Amino acid sequence: MFAFIPQGRSSFFKVAYFLVLLFVGIVLATTRIGVGAHHPIDVLIGSILGYISGVIGIRSSVKYRLFGWVSSSKSYPFFMLLFLGSVVFMSVKIMQEHLVVFYFPLISLIVSLYLMIKFYVKKNQ
């Protein structure tokens, strides 16, 4: 939630934004209980661990810049190959399983791969 709080706004707006995101998170977490997929303690512990992991990830990313190489255009070919391999994997998975849920990541990967190739070609002309 810290990463998405708008900068330069009043403290009331930040608190309201935080509370809305917290409410949405609680509603989404309780739906897992409602459909019988998890017990309440599972959802509570998972939510707490997810929140703590997010805070640690954001703070360590700001402090140490471990993944600064990702924004470099030199790493684009690596990600293009990774995305292409994922497209092939998802296509095979769709042919085997025939589940609609696999189409969403496939579409996301294809769009991301297209945009990445387009940006990389424009930058290197």
pTM listed for this prediction: 0.59
Q: Write the pLDDT tens digit of every residue in 10-47.
A: 778 878 888 888 898 888 888 888 888 888 898 889 88
Same domain, 55 and 15: yes
Same domain, 84 and 49: no
* pLDDT score recorded for residue 1: 57
Same domain, 80 and 30: no
Q: For residue 86, what pLDDT band results from cuts at 50, 70 and 90? A: very high
Whether 96 shows a pLDDT value over 80: the answer reads yes
| Residues written for the chain | 125
Same domain, 15 and 61: yes
Same domain, 43 and 13: yes
Whether 91 shows a pLDDT value over 90: the answer reads yes
Give me the amino acid identity at 77.
P
Range(s) of the domain holding residue 99 = 69-123
